[in-house]
Structure 1
Amino acid sequence: MGIQGMMSYVGEHKQFFVDLQLRNTKVIIDGNNLYHRLYFDASLDIRHGGDYDSFTNITHKFFETLTLCDIRPYVVLDGGSDVSDKKFATLKERAQEKIQLAFSISRGGAGSVLPLLIREVFKQILTRLQVPFVQSFSEADRDIVSLANHWNCPVLTFDSDFCIFDLKAGYCPLNYFQWRNICTYEESQDCYIPAKCFSLERFCKHFGNMSKTLLPLFAVMSGNDYINLPAMEMFFSKVRLPVGSYGNKFKKHIRIQGLLNWLSRFADPAEAIENVLKYLRQHEKEETRQFLWASMEEYEPSNVNLEDFFQNGRYESEEAKKQELPLWILSAFAKGLLAPFISDVLVLRRAILHAQVENIQRPSSHVTALSIRQVIYGLLLNTSESSFYTSARKHPISSTPALCEFDRFQKELRKSFVSAASFSGNFALTTLNEVPLADRLQLLLDTLEVTASVLEAVPGQLQLPVAVTCFWIRYSEPKVKLQHMKALLLGMVFGELHKILENPGIPAYNSDQNLKHKLSW
């Protein structure tokens, strides 16, 4: 979600904010916003696959600063796409934009595209630092609002929709959260972080004590990520919005101010909606009325009890329950053990693959791992019981379920249909977590086309990286060269040395850290 131009608009009005000295409090953090800001604000590498080491250091410093100020963070991450799929058009537009940005970056131009594994690295850091986090079933905004209001603590994000939500303790935009500028009280030497908190009361007062209940309607009419209603353009073309004395040149800002001034005339959304409908054609009125009321519900707090998750590990969502997914899937998803695309595959039978900076003239790098994804799709879609495992790469399957994938083809986003691999009854989705470890291991080895004997001489903690490397060498396009192998091996060796230096008391080789151990969760 997000209202275009809203953050820059409120940023021009300092009177909308209250100065805070944050310490000794809980804070709910929008995880997706945070890792984006930490990476891009530090101007880390985006041209050569990412700088995960520097990102790790910066993220460590961020949470260490919170600890110094006795700020207790709870991170909430977005999950998969909304089950209604109403944001699908926006997701495709964003995917296409990222392909264009990646192309620009590859040619030395401007742009911001996150490295592919930043989200996974971020979750690893949270786990290592023991920072509590949860992954919502779909978008996290409403879950964040519910938890923040329940605990009466501020929200840390950079999402313009939080200018609309009625938050008891307010919303601190990340760009005003001066975590690098930690301060101390002279009398007590206690540390605090200077911040600014967006005040909904001040915002509404600026527009003649406008009712807070009108703000969701403002967001819907302005057009957020979900809303694209042609009838609204008819309204804007006919109505005369009272802009007032506003000299900014930005058209988006002028519309924002004009619409807020116009809405402030009305007592509640019902009165405002009826006045909107006066400007529309007769046949558009009823559909638009229903659409506006339904869309405003997106700004209501959710019924998900995240406190129960953080205290007892239970995540219950009505939206998730309706999908009738196995409890072990829902639990693993909430704990961040499964990626959001898993939810999209299960619920929407679709996957949008992330663009990255690469040679745009060559096929997408995701093509190399197609057969691995087909195995994942087969497991998730609970396919037929014809055989233990059929390699989709060697033997194309026509009888298995097809899934829609969106991936880069040169500079365009292209849709294709991908068949899922086929398994025996042992791999039914409902009992997948109960499959014997030996069978899971064999499936993994078959998928990567590696035999157990190849890995016998490999230290346990390196068996999976070596197996993946074997697969990569076999199917990489262009073909792997000696310098690629040297770089990869150097990275593995450096990683092991880093572990030894960080934890000198722990043996470098741990025979228990083998593939079976990794699969046991």
Structure 2
Amino acid sequence: MGIHGLMSYVGEHKQFFTDIQLRNTKIIIDGNNLFHRLYFESNLDLQHGGDYDSFTDIVHKFFETLSVCKIYPYVVLDGGCDLLDKKFATLKERAWDKIQVAYSISRGGGGSVLPLLTREVFKQALTKLEVPFVQCFSEADRDITSLANHWNCPVLTLDSDFCIFDLKAGYCPLNYFQWRNLCTCEGTLDCYIPARCFSLERLCSHFSHMNKALLPLFAVMNGNDYINLPALETFFSKVRLPVGGCGWRGRKHVRIQGLLNWLSRFADPTEAIDNVLKYLKKHEREEIRELLCTSMEEYEQSDVNLEDFFQNGNFDSQVTRKLALPQWMLEALAKGHLSPFISDALLLRRTILHVQVENMQRPSAHTVALPIRQVIYGLLLNASQNSEVTSPSEQSNNVDGLLQQNKARPLHSVSKIMTFWQVPRSDRLKLLLETLGVKASILQPIPSPLWLPVAVTCYWTHYSEPRVKLHCLQALLLGMVFGELHRTTSSSDKMIYDQFLKWKEKNFQKLLDLDTAHTFCQWQCCLQMGLHLNQLLSTPLPEPDLTRLYCGTLVHRLCKELKSAHGAENLLLSSPKMSQLYCDLLHAVKSTVPPDFFQETTKTKSCKEKNKNTGLKVQDCSGPEENVQNSQLAMETKGRN
């Protein structure tokens, strides 16, 4: 959620906080807030689609610092949209804002738009670090509050709603959490993180010891993500709010200070609401009373027992009991094995496709992945208990950055997903590969963690508009090799890895190559939906390691260098293993398109030719089709030739 202007207001009042040395404690972390802040505050690239490897390193450093201080984190992630759609207007407004920001970034301007796969990368990093996390079924604030109070430990977030929740151990805002400034306790070797903890009692004491039960009413009246009542503007236009004191500035802060002063006069919310209604028209009063009381319930603790989930893996609530979903799906959603995209499409018949820094003059980059989404929708519509189902609508950006809603026609309707889940893996694999348009045989020479990315790359090469250029494909595949180099220990591979790092760290011109950016945005959209479909089918292909799969700055740099190079430099020759990997990747993708697809105009050099040039070039590897008689992917499917 979020209360308009409250975080900046309380930030101007140091008396609302206590300085603490955080160590030897559990802490509940708002996962969505954390991955946004870690990405944006770390000066990571925002133009080129995400430096997921650098982001992963930062996530590792963050949780390693907590471990040194014996801080035991439990991460709680938001799930899908609220089932009652109370926040939809806010979500549409934010989507529009992000389109404008993405457009600004694409033109060299400022702003922050999170790269498309950041959330999935974050979850994979948590899994590798063995940091426990849960994915809730909608907004996680109330669930976080319940767990924090049950364990009597602080909450780490930057959500102003936690200035309203009654937290026993307080709320530590992320902007005051100095995890990069590790300190040692005097006279001991114990480490701690300097932080500030917001005190609800101090806030209420400042306003004449106001009843803290009035704060949810304040939040609703001031305006949050769930409610914005025009009728309340009548109240604000008529009432004279006692601002008083100092330390405020700006219109929002005047209203906040005045409203808190005014509410502090009353003993409880009932009395305060009665006095609010006096300023409204008689025929509006009872409706507004009901809306205010209902909205205040958002600040009550939830019935979800997250302790039971973290200890026993059980996620149970009144909401989930009403959903009539199969148990495997509920568990997969809670464990983060399925994306909130899935629950939104299934339960709300609507999805919001997140904007990227792309060419806004072209149709949304998400358009290329529509056939994959149609298969997902086809599966999900048959999972519903409701016989009168409708196709999901999609919110995305189109030409000129306008927010657009489209109906997506589902494909591949099958029997209800409850029984479909019991279908043999070979059939689920067949459906996945048919959707991506590849044969299992072409994947055999490739390491299994790259099977899904390569299958998605084949799909992207076939459907991308405008057509994928050879140097873009080469750059993307070299980026995958770069990810594999990170795992090797040989000295020759280390030299190649360091060379890639130099390319990655080269400065870019401020103006983005929009067509190249759009091409790689399309690839990420395809990968995202390929991941979702693979997860929905219970991973017939192994889940790829996203943390090292795509590095936007490197791939864009390689793309630029390969475009201007005149020959084929064997960058990987000192590592036969990595050179072969690159050849296998390129051959797999090129085998799914016609021979003249890339319309190559320059004669390339063989894999064995030594490097004689100074520009960055890569070999065009080709060779006979691999023998696949012993393939682990024995199920061949009808694909493109």
Per the TM superposition, whether the score is higher than 0.5 is yes
1-structure distance, mates of 2:17, 2:134 = 29
Q: How does 1:321-336 map to 2 (within 5 A)?
A: 321-336=321-336
Q: In the alignment, does 2:408 pair up with 1:418? A: yes
SS state at 1:256 partner = helix
Q: 1:481 to 1:169 in 2, by over 3 A?
A: same
Query: Which residue of structure 2 lines up, in the alignment, with residue 455 of structure 1?
Result: 443
Moved more, 103-112 or 374-383: 374-383
Say whether the 8 Å CA contact 1:401–1:419 is kept in structure 2. Answer: no
- 1:307 Cα deviation after fit: 0.3
The residue that corresponds to 1:281 in the other structure is 281
Distance 2:373 2:200 in 1: 45
| Equivalent position of 1:391 in the other structure | none
Alignment gaps of 5+ in structure 1: 385-398, 503-514
Partner residue in 2 for 1:487: 475
Aligned-residue offset at 1:228: 1.0
Question: What is the distance in 1 between the residues matched to 2:289 and 2:389?
Answer: 43
Cα 1:19–1:284 shift into 2, 3 Å? same
Q: Corresponding residue for 2:585?
A: none
Q: CA-to-partner distance for each residue in 1:374-396, whole Å, 9 max, x for gaps?
A: 00111111189xxxxxxxxxxxx
Please tell me the residue identity of whatever aligns with 2:227: I
**Which residues in structure 2 correspond to 1:326-365 (within 5 Å)?**
326-365=326-365
1:117 to 2:117 alignment:
yes
Aligned residue for 1:389? none
Q: In 1, are the aligned partners of 2:451 and 2:541 still within 8 Å (CA)?
A: no
Q: Give every structure 1 segment of 4 or more consecutive aligned residues whose post-TM-superposition deviation is greater than 4 Å.
A: none
Deviation of the 1:325 alpha carbon? 1.0
Find the aligned partners of 1:268 and 1:458 in 2 and give their Cα distance: 66
The range that moved more, 48-57 or 307-316, is: 48-57
* 8 Å Cα contact 2:158/2:174 also seen in 1: yes
| Structure 1 residues 142-178: Cα deviation after superposition (integer angstroms, max 9, x where no partner) | 0000000000000000000000000000000000001
- Whether the aligned pair in 2 keeps the contact of 1:31 and 1:77 (CA below 8 Å) is yes
Whole-angstrom distance in 1 between the partners of 2:542 and 2:423: 14
- What do residues 480-518 of structure 1 show as CA deviations (whole Å, max 9, x unaligned)? 11111111111121122212239xxxxxxxxxxxx7452
Mapped contact 1:103–1:360 kept (Cα < 8 A): yes
Match of 2:487 among 499, 508, 513: 499
Task: Give yes or no for contact 2:383–2:418 (8 Å, CA) kept in 1.
Answer: no
Which whole-Å CA distance do the structure 1 matches of 2:414 and 2:392 have between them? 20
Q: Deviations over 1:430-470 (max 9, x none)?
A: 13332210001000011001112222333323221211111
SS of the equivalent of 1:21 reads strand
Identity of aligned residues (%): 69
Q: Residue 512 of structure 2 aligns with which residue?
A: none
Any idea what the Cα deviations from partners look like across 1:344-380, whole Å, max 9, x if unmatched?
Answer: 1111100010001001111111000000000011111
- Report SS of the residue matched to 2:394: strand
The equivalent of 1:222 in structure 2 is 222
Q: Which residue of 1 aligns with 2:569?
A: none
- Give the structure 1 partner of residue 398 of structure 2: 409
Aligned residue type for 2:235: F
Letter in 2 for 1:408: N
Higher Cα radius of gyration:
2
1:156-201 per-residue CA deviation (whole Å, 9 max, x = no partner) reads 0000000000000000000000101111112111000010000000
Q: Aligned equivalents of 1:343 and 1:497: distance in 2?
A: 36
Secondary structure at 1:187 match in 2: coil
Give 1:518's aligned residue. Answer: 542
The C-alpha deviation readout for 1:385-419, integer Å capped at 9, x for no partner, is xxxxxxxxxxxxxx994221111012111111111
1:470 and 2:458 equivalent? yes
> Alpha-carbon deviation of 1:247?
6.0
TM-score by length of 2: 0.75
Q: How far 1:35 sits from its partner (Å)?
A: 0.5
CA distance in 2, matches of 1:349, 1:116: 21
Give the aligned partner of residue 493 of structure 2: none
AA at the equivalent of 1:350: R
Does 2:260 match 1:260? yes
TM-score using structure 1 length: 0.92
Alignment match, 2:523: none
Separation in structure 1 between the aligned mates of residue 243 and residue 540 of structure 2, nearest angstrom: 65
Aligned to 2:428: 440
| 1:264 partner amino acid | S
CA distance in 1, matches of 2:146, 2:341: 25
1:316 & 1:153 partners in 2: Cα distance? 22
* 2:484 partner letter: E
TM-superposed CA distance for 1:59, in Å, is 0.8
Amino acid at match of 1:412: L
Does residue 191 (structure 1) correspond to residue 181 (structure 2)? The answer is: no
Aligned to 1:12: 12
Tell me which moved more, 428-437 or 48-57. 428-437
- Say if 1:30 and 1:144, in contact at 8 Å, map to a contact too: yes
CA distance in 2, matches of 1:17, 1:139: 26
Structure 2's unaligned 5+ residue stretches are 491-538, 544-641
- Quote the Cα distance in structure 2 between the aligned partners of 1:242 and 1:335: 48
Q: Is the 8 A contact 1:406 1:415 kept in 2?
A: yes
Mean Cα displacement is larger for which, 219-228 or 410-419?
Answer: 410-419
Counterpart for residue 103 of structure 1 = 103
Q: Which amino acid aligns with 2:370?
A: L
Residue 241 of structure 2 aligns with an amino acid whose one-letter code is L
Aligned counterparts of 2:541 and 2:46: Cα–Cα separation in 1: 33
User: Which residue pairs with 1:510 in the alignment?
Assistant: none
Q: What is the alpha-carbon distance in structure 2 between the residues aligned to residue 516 and residue 336 of structure 1? A: 17
Tell me the distance in 1 between the aligned counterparts of 2:346 and 2:311. Answer: 28
Change (3 A) 1:263 1:381: same
- 2:158 aligns to what? 158
